[in-house]
Structure 1
């Protein structure tokens, strides 16, 4: 092995980053500093100051496929969410405070009760109550 410096292996090209530009940038930054980059699944190693055109091509091709795969996943996810919303199954996150809770807390706060105590009854934090009171003003 000698004095060769190596970084820990990355499992796969697509696990390092889903962006081709980031992949190229990361491998360049690491190899310029000395260590080599090794992708276990693809069995590719990029040593310091590598000028192997085949390795560079493989990195670009695999990075492009990873970027494409991630875009397809995002597209399918958006389609699934749209279908679920249309079917009434996807409503997003439940609101922490309902309008009735805010209506109950407002007179208490106006009367001088602390916002912390007013937020305790509906079981939310002080910041959540501040936001809700500001929205309905």
Structure 2
């Protein structure tokens, strides 16, 4: 039985290019999430998993587009192949069917571990770069979201019992930012 071919694309930010991930591939439908790979809340991935059927093929540019750690990668591939769909990773040139051999399982584990390791190295280099930039006086971090007057108004109104979510909306910041301003010695 021949099914349809679906693409799954994940980008972390809206300005990232989604076109290049599966460029040139014939796809019947594409599911695209704008979320971090470590984020478990990916509505389009869940929609894809619910949508695929026996005989379908799911194309993903690379393993790191599907998951950022090995446990999540294995779990997602298992969920997709449980529907009897195939999962193909274009960059790694690997296909998983659910009836995988010991070698296929090994390759998924090794390649997934390399993707996880690569991500850890990127974070480590980023932290080192920020530390060096701070030491050189170049890195200042993100500026304050609220000026002094706004911050004191926020603190005063929150102390008076106004809802944090309403304050966040009014000041144009997240609730997390509101709570950061309400912490002692911000």
- Shared fold (TM-score greater than 0.5)? yes
Out of 26, 29, 46, the position equivalent to 2:96 is: 46
Unaligned runs of 5+ in 1: 110-124
More strand by share: 2
Q: Quick one: distance in 2 between partners of 1:2 and 1:94? A: 54
Out of 76, 83, 91, the position equivalent to 2:125 is: 76
Q: Quick one: distance in 1 between partners of 2:99 and 2:105? A: 8
Unaligned runs of 5+ in 2: 4-53, 158-168, 173-177
- 1:12 lines up with 2:62 in the alignment: yes
User: Please, what TM-score do these two structures have when normalized by structure 2?
Assistant: 0.52
Bigger RCO of structures 1 and 2 (CA < 8 A, at least 6 apart): 1
More helix by share: 1
Number of equivalences: 116
- Bigger Cα Rg: 1
Give the aligned CA root-mean-square deviation in angstroms.
3.2
User: Please, what TM-score do these two structures have when normalized by structure 1?
Assistant: 0.68
Q: Quick one: distance in 2 between partners of 1:14 and 1:52? A: 22
Greater Cα offset, 38-47 or 59-68 = 38-47
The alpha-carbon deviation at position 74 of structure 1 amounts to 0.4
